[in-house]
Structure 1
């Protein structure tokens, strides 16, 4: 595949390359990253031709946005596409000496609270502009409105009500004013796509972890709904937090946790099929989502320059059609998964 061939994002006028840059690792997700390495990684991505960058206030509690912004504001603005997210407001901790960074290996010491109201969305957007050093972003994403992050269905319903009663109007106002080009939502869980599309006109969804070489349950009903409404798809978490980049090695993670025995066995079987065809597992993981016509772009993360280079090489690798056919024949990918362009 040609990584920088562009595809239209749903029904918008936004054209994205087939591969972008996911900046969660620059917020020190599981791994500490020096300022030097963060700058080198971003420079490597830019020099290699990557022009779409995705970040969020949550990534390192502001650190990723600062790092991405410090690099990108020096580049020609009309050559890049930038996305960030709304839903969280960062604030100074009441007890700094007791601050816990959680699963971020480092990052900045800010607490957060969720806010999907009109004022909350506008505040989050303006705060992101300040951290990024930019006066606009291209794509704005509703972030982490799901049980995983909100804690219960009751809280999800309450936050959806905030969005319906004002937050979505803020996004629509920003788009109408030309401050953003498209409205999206991040999806981490099954069931949220129908709920969001029932309530809101979405331009695209950033589907994390749920349409990958490792799992495709979204093909049962949710991706078909996106096809029906021409809602674009950007795929994040393409390696399911690591297992489909490294294979089933010690300490590999699957969806931010230790993989179950069944998940390890499935990854082993897929890796074995890839090996029989002389294809690295990571290359198959990067290319698989792009075989679906509704998918516009994949955004693998990186925290080192050589990771960016390797990802691009894997996207360019030729993968024989027989590999995909064997995975489907063995029941290792969904029966409805597209396996050719």
Structure 2
């Protein structure tokens, strides 16, 4: 993939009101803070806030030099006008239900999705187009959607194509059969758990496919120095055994004068396949905190200690692309 991704990527779902509302000024200030922190990779999707994320991200980047940043968005679900009113009926976004999401993995659906995204973003191209959450529709994705993505890449409409999912095995099948440039794996290669290491990474290595790690805080459990039993894992209640493991990780971090989210953000970037860690951020304060956690070096002994205790696999440090 001939793209340079900043080590910290900006996940633009929260600025579209994921779970709680975010106003336009706050969204713009958050993107501005990311830019000031050196972030040059921005990820969005039509699904995020029924197009609100794409519109807000595009507006916030409009005055930036286009050659200096990378934007990815996603395809697979079209936004169709909806007159039912009320809040987002099918998602977790605090936005008005002006549209509904309709799955469409056909060639025309993929192309229409990209055209609609470009309109919302106010751009003439995006750098990466991912197939969004295709794990339950793999046969259709391989038959129609992946060829449509490749066609767009061959035409020069996008630079790179890929797929994003929390299902590492599904991504591996797409990588093996579909000729993707990059995959975004959510929550499956984190400090807490690494199934992608065996389920996905060998296929990526064989195919020369890059990896973007998302969900590095496991939907919030690893985002605080002390794991909260009332927090979230997989966007739900934290199982006792998962909480215990997170607390063990936090204790080892403390032994090495580090904090859990600092290690959680840095861990995936140690693998040579991982080009960026994308984190959803909803405020300038969150941006500054994540940038600080990424920049603050941890004692090398932390990684060796985690490995020796069997809390993480042995992974050789790899160089990720610089901002």
TM range (shorter): over 0.9
The alignment partner of 1:142 has SS state of strand
1:321 and 1:339 in contact (8 A); partners too: no
Q: What does residue 17 of structure 2 align with? A: 28
230-239 or 91-100: bigger deviation: 91-100
Of 108, 113, 118, the match for 1:124: 113
Question: Aligned partners of 1:54 and 1:100: how far apart in 2?
Answer: 23
C-alpha distance in 1 between matches for 2:27 and 2:65: 20
CA apart distance, 1:330: 1.2
The number of residues matched between the two structures is: 318
Q: What does residue 185 of structure 1 align with?
A: 163
The answer to whether residue 223 in structure 2 is matched with residue 245 in structure 1 is: yes
Distance 2:273 2:48 in 1: 27
The two structures, once aligned, show a CA RMSD in angstroms of 1.7
Which residue of structure 2 aligns with residue 314 of structure 1?
293
> 2:259 maps to which residue?
280
* CA distance in 1 between partners of 2:317 and 2:86 (Å): 52
1:62 aligns with 2:40: no
Residue equivalent to 1:152: none
Measured against aligned partners, the alpha-carbon deviations of 1:98-125 in whole angstroms (never above 9, x if no partner) come to 8625422336532111111100000100
Equivalent position of 1:48 in the other structure: 37
Give ranges in structure 2 of 5+ residues lacking alignment. Answer: none
The Cα of 1:340 is off from its aligned counterpart by 6.5
Task: Using structure 1 for the length normalisation, give the TM-score.
Answer: 0.89
Taking the aligned partners of 1:267 and 1:273, their CA distance within structure 2 comes to 10
Conservation of the 8 A alpha-carbon contact between 1:22 and 1:299: yes
Are 2:197 and 1:219 aligned? yes
- CA displacement 1:39-98 (0-9 Å, x = unmatched): 110111112221110000011111111110111122111111100000000012252258
In structure 2, distance between residues paired with 1:266 and 1:99: 35
Give the aligned partner of residue 74 of structure 2. Answer: 85
Q: What's the counterpart of residue 244 of structure 2?
A: 265
Could you tell me which runs of 5 or more consecutive residues in structure 1 were left unpaired when the two chains were aligned.
Answer: 1-11, 148-155
Secondary structure of 2:267's partner?
A: helix
Hey, what's the Cα distance between the residues in 1 that align with 2:202 and 2:21?
A: 39
Q: Deviation per CA, 1:141-167, whole angstroms, max 9, x where unpaired?
A: 0001124xxxxxxxx24xx32x33432
Asked if the contact 2:75/2:131 (under 8 Å) is kept, the reply is yes
CA distance in 2, matches of 1:37, 1:103: 19
Partner Cα distance (1:105, 1:98) in 2: 7
Match of 2:61 among 67, 72, 77: 72
7, 11, 14: which one pairs with 1:18?
7
Provide the C-alpha distance between the structure 2 equivalents of 1:42 and 1:185, rounded to a whole number of angstroms.
24
Cα distance per residue 1:220-253 (max 9 Å; x no partner) = 2421221122110011111111111114225311
Deviating more after overlay: 239-248 vs 105-114: 105-114
Contact 1:51/1:80 (8 A) holds in 2: yes
Kept in 1: contact 2:268–2:277 (CA 8 A): yes
TM-score where L is the length of structure 2: 0.93
Counterpart-to-counterpart distance in 2, 1:219 and 1:97: 42
Aligned residue number for residue 39 of structure 1: 28
For 1:9, the equivalent position in structure 2 comes to: none
